[in-house]
């Protein structure tokens, strides 16, 4: 069980002039499954490579428990990284691939064969050990790559977009496999992903990186319901944003005063409300809205609304939306417990996490 921490980690690629990673401070608890979430090009893979030691940081430190590993070469860190592509060695069989790390450690062949056989069956590749990588499907290759890393029982396991190259059906299977293997082994694991739904479904903890900076860290529902900044809310599919002022438990905005939940901060803020929390029908904080659009999305229907000229969106069930037509009017309510206040300007700072 190992706790991983990053301290002021910074990296600028030569010639780009712009930092790929801007001084990240981050702690990943021992035995947790943490998702490193962020849009493409936000510095996630760079952060992983810095942890794995495949590139050197310009500044900052990587620690496992209390000991710094920044100066250690990748092979001596006890950190193993699985890449987005399986990158199996084409000249070796699947069994040889999985046994690679153990061979490099100089373990006796009998021990290696034993570990490899157990691992093959654990990732459901029994009987495929003698095949070459090219003879396996994409999903099988990805599982072999996972097995090749797990067999080493690393202190920290890094998975870079392990699902993004898989078909949707296989993605679910792989997600469950990662989850159950992680729970079984208790290896501190970081999964990189750009897909917020995947991060929410997979991880205990989410670390959201935006533009090379840590935007927010916490359990999935905290980022979902209590975003620290506008950018975080947007990344998690937030669409309803009302600028205004909080005073004495009321939020004064373009749609009139709204009752806030108890303990809401005072002053200028941006109020946000998740589209699925905006209720169609009477209730607390009721408003009359004009329907601007109705979009059927399958399991849900998106309803575009205008309240006093302010655009809002609601996600509801197709049943409830069946009577709605664009141009019509409907009563909507904004439940106080679903209202959340964001800092007014587009800052990414999270009060709990100092950002350099």
Residue nearer to other proteins on the CB measure, 73 or 282: 73
Q: Could you list the residues that contact other proteins (CB under 8 A)?
A: 49, 52-54, 73-75, 79-81, 83, 85, 87, 89-93, 100-101, 103-105, 132-134, 148-149, 152
At residue 60's C-alpha, the angle toward residues 54 and 62, to 5°, is: 55
The minimum distance between CB 102 and other proteins, in angstroms, equals 8
**Beta sheet of 79-82, edge-to-edge order:** 79-82, 156-160, 188-193, 33-37, 205-210, 213-218
Residue nearer to other proteins on the CB measure, 8 or 78: 78
The minimum distance between CB 285 and other proteins, in angstroms, equals 53
CA distance 339 to 330: 20
Over its C-alpha atoms, the chain yields an Rg (Å, rounded) of 24
Contact status, residue 205 vs residue 219, Cβ threshold 8 Å: yes
- Number of Cβ within 10 Å of residue 248's Cβ equals 9
The minimum distance between CB 134 and other proteins, in angstroms, equals 6
Residue nearer to other proteins on the CB measure, 96 or 253: 96
The minimum distance between CB 299 and other proteins, in angstroms, equals 38
Label each residue of 249-262 as H, E or C: CEEEECCEEEECCC
Residue nearer to other proteins on the CB measure, 132 or 290: 132
Residues 6+ apart with CB under 8 A from 262: 249
Residue nearer to other proteins on the CB measure, 157 or 230: 157
The minimum distance between CB 35 and other proteins, in angstroms, equals 20
CA distance 293 to 315: 12
CA distance 167 to 234: 27
- Taken in order 132, 138, 143, 148, the sign of the CA dihedral is positive
The minimum distance between CB 74 and other proteins, in angstroms, equals 4
Residue nearer to other proteins on the CB measure, 100 or 251: 100
């Amino acid at each position: 069980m190992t706790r991983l921490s990053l301290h002021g980690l910074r990296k600028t690629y030569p010639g780009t002039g712009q930092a790929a990673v801007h001084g990240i401070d981050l702690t990943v608890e021992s035995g947790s499954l943490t998702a490193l979430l962020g849009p493409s090009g936000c510095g996630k893979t760079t952060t992983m490579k810095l942890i794995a030691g495949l590139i050197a940081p310009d500044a900052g430190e990587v620690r496992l428990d209390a000991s710094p590993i920044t100066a250690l070469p990748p092979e001596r860190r006890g950190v193993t990284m699985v890449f987005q592509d399986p990158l199996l060695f084409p000249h070796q069989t699947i069994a040889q691939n999985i046994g690679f790390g153990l061979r490099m450690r100089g373990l006796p062949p009998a021990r290696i064969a034993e570990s490899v056989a157990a691992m093959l069956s654990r990732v459901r590749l029994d009987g495929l050990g003698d095949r070459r990588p090219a003879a396996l499907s994409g999903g099988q290759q990805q599982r072999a790559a996972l097995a090749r890393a797990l067999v080493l029982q690393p202190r920290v396991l890094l998975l870079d977009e392990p699902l993004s190259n898989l078909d949707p059906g296989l993605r679910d299977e792989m997600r469950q496999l990662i989850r159950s293997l992680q729970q079984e082994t208790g290896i501190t694991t970081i999964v990189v992903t750009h897909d917020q739904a995947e991060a929410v479904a997979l991880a205990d903890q989410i670390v959201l990186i935006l533009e090379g900076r840590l935007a927010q860290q916490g359990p999935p529902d905290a980022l979902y319901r209590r975003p620290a900044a506008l950018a975080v809310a947007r990344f998690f599919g937030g669409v309803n944003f009302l600028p205004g002022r909080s005073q004495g438990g009321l939020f004064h905005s373009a749609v009139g005063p709204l009752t806030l939940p108890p303990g809401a901060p005072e002053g200028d803020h941006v109020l946000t409300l998740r589209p699925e929390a905006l209720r169609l029908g009477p209730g607390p904080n009721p408003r009359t809205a004009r329907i601007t659009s109705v979009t059927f999305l399958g399991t849900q229907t998106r309803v575009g609304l205008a309240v006093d000229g302010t655009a809002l969106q609601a996600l509801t069930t197709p049943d409830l939306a069946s009577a709605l037509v664009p141009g019509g009017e409907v009563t909507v309510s904004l439940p106080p417990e679903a209202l959340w206040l964001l800092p007014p300007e587009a800052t990414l700072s999270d009060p709990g996490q100092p950002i350099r």
